[in-house]
Amino acid sequence: MNFVVQTIITSLLIGAFAVSGVMAAQPNIVFIFSDDHAEHAISAYGSKVNQTPHLDRLAKEGTRFTNSFVTNSICTPSRATLLTGQYSHLNGVPVFNRFDSSRDTVAKHLQAGGYHTGIIGKWHLGSDPVGFDRWCVLPGQGSYWNPTFLVPDGKFTIEGHCTDVTTDLGIEFLKTRPHDKPFFLMLHQKAPHRNWDPDERNKALFKDQVIPEPETLWDDYKTRPAALPENEQTVARDLTRS
C-alpha cells in the first residue's frame, strides 16, 4: 500500500491575498499537497538532514500543525477526505474505491460561491474531477519523468520532471485565470512518493552529507500491525523498486 504520511502537515493553505491591494471578502486559496511526505523530512519540524527553506517560510509566516491525527492515511481515501471533509466510511472511499463525483466537495461549494477552481497534478480517485473549471491530472500514480496529464478533452505529455512540470502548470493557472474572480487551486505533487526518483539537479544533493541512521532502520516489525511488513516503504528493500 502507498501511504500518505502526515499530508495535512505539508498540505499548506496559502491565501488571503488581495485582488486589488485590499483584503478581499473572498480570499484566493492555493492548496499544496505532497504525497508520502514525512514530518521529519521538513526542517521546520526539526529535520537535521533536509533543508526546506520555502516550506520553513510558510511555516514561519503561517501555522504549523503539531498535534494532528489521521484516521485513514492510504492515498486514495485521504484525497477523498480532503475533498469532502468526511470520514472514509461516509464518503464511500475506504480503500482504493472509485470516488463518486456526485458527492459534495469543497471545490463544488467554492465554485458555486463564485470561485474559479482548478486542480493540477495527482488525482488518483478513479473518476474525472468535478467542480473544477480547469483540471489537469496524472493518470493513476503518474510518472516522474515526461508525465502524461489527463484533461477534459484528452491527454498530453510534457517533457521534464513531474515536480517541475506540475509546478509550472500551477503557475500557468495563476497567470491565465480570470482576474475578476477569486481562485481556488489544488496543486497536487506526486513527490516524494516511492520510487523516490529526483530530478537531475538534486541527485547528488546529499552526496557528501552524513545521514544519521534512523532508529527504525532495522525494525523487524514483530511488534507492529500485521499490514506494515507488506508496506513497500523500506529503504533496504524497496528503494529501487518501480
Q: Which residues are catalytically annotated?
A: 75, 124
CA 38 from centre of chain: 12
Q: Quick one: cell of 83?
A: 475533498
Q: Which amino acid is at 67?
A: N
